[in-house]
Amino acid sequence: MRVLYLDANVWHINPTANLLPALVRERFPGARFYGPGFVDEGVLAGGLQAFAGRYGPFDVAMLGPATPFLGEGEDDDIGAAAFLRRYASHRLSDRSLLAFFADVRLEFGQLPFAVRLISLLNFDYYAASQKQVDVLLKHSISVLGPNDQFVLALADLPDFASREKHYVRKVGRFTDVWLNFLRRHPERIVTATHFVGPQEYCFDPLAVRPYEVAIPGAEYLLRKDAVRRLSGNRLRSASKVYFHFYRLANRLGLPAYSHPLALRLYNLFFQQTLFETRCIYTARGGFGMPIRKFFEIPAAGGLLICNPCTGYADLGFEIGRHYVQAEPDALLDVLSEWLFSPDAQKVARTGQQLVIARHSMAARGEQIERCLRSMVAGTYRGARWCHGEYLVDEVSPCAA
């Protein structure tokens, strides 16, 4: 199967975005890459149509996460370039990025690829517009991202969702447009959530880890409540000084997330927190999406204590077997029970084994390839998770 990967070659804060081109290289030998930073300026000046004509035909064209294909024109492209300038590391000029964005928007839906796929693993699903959905349908573009198992209806969101900062910023824009699209068109969804790379595993036993508890990352409402309830206790907590320093530096306009060394140090500090801590707490945000921490923490070998995301059981995670469940107000009691429990190591190891088997880059690559081969054959009807098993729905070739 011949694959063309289209995007700007940048280093993102979110490791999944960095792993996606690596997944393509590993899973689809001979795949071609096109975009600023992947090819030189002379090749880019020739345009996507010329590149595809020279190296094609391609069975699959996959658009990566840095390209704002669903934006509404030049202003959105300029905003996307500014975002990459502030939150990603690269040496690409805005001129090169903007020319590429415009070229892809013009050509991606027109060129004769058997399958057109866009990565929306970090998409703002609740703020999606009908216009964006119509663009996907008009150009027969499929989506790499969560299916309807992982997106709740607005009416089913918990009460605290309306108090999340993201909700307050965009109140009035949220709809069920995206959920309706997912439900109506499972054949257009290559079902995928975040995944981890081999460098994210740590096999140190819990007993040798110097810190007893950590609550890494941005403090959404439930995490913020958990941090407050831990304050003043005598547990050895992993420091978050680096996290607050980077956020302050970014607010001051310093290149906290765009300087290559600074960005990689940030990723390293985060990873070391996971590697050096026994019990690591996280919680769903108000929208309940399966954010990356639900995979990173068990991959790092720590005991995951959490308020689980939507669809976590579908992904194979079982309470008491792969993680420990706790609301913020019960966190101290749960830590008292599990911190030195002889069962903690078993739960941590079992959670790690599940991530390696089902949610690693290798596993996700195999799942994506199954869907794409079915799409190319014209037999694909969707893919769903069921208690940790990835099930691809197909019709027989004759029926297709």
Fold of 198-358: Rossmann fold (3.40.50)
Going from N- to C-terminal start, the domains of the chain cover: 3-195+361-394, 198-358
How far CA 9 is from CA of 67, 91, 276, 375, in Å, comes to 10, 9, 31, 27
Give dist(CA 23, CA 196) in Å, integer: 11
Per residue in 208-259, pLDDT tens?
999 999 999 888 899 999 999 998 888 999 999 999 999 999 999 999 999 9
Spatial distance between the Cα atoms of 187 and 381, rounded to a whole number of angstroms: 4
232's torsion region: left (phi>0), alpha (psi -120 to 50) or beta? left
Percent residues over pLDDT 70 in the chain: 99
Query: What is the per-residue pLDDT for 275?
Result: 98
What pLDDT, on a 0 to 100 scale, did the predictor assign at position 395? 87
213 contact partners, CB below 8 Å, separation of at least 6: 230, 235, 236, 237, 238, 277, 278, 279, 280, 281, 335, 339
For the segment 93-137, what is each residue's pLDDT rounded down to a tens digit? 999 999 999 999 999 999 999 999 999 999 999 999 999 999 999
- pTM strictly above 0.75: yes
DSSP string across 96-126: HHHHHHHHHHHHTTTS--SEEEEE-TT--GG
List, for residues 135-180, the tens digit of each pLDDT value: 999 999 999 999 999 999 999 999 999 898 888 888 888 999 999 9
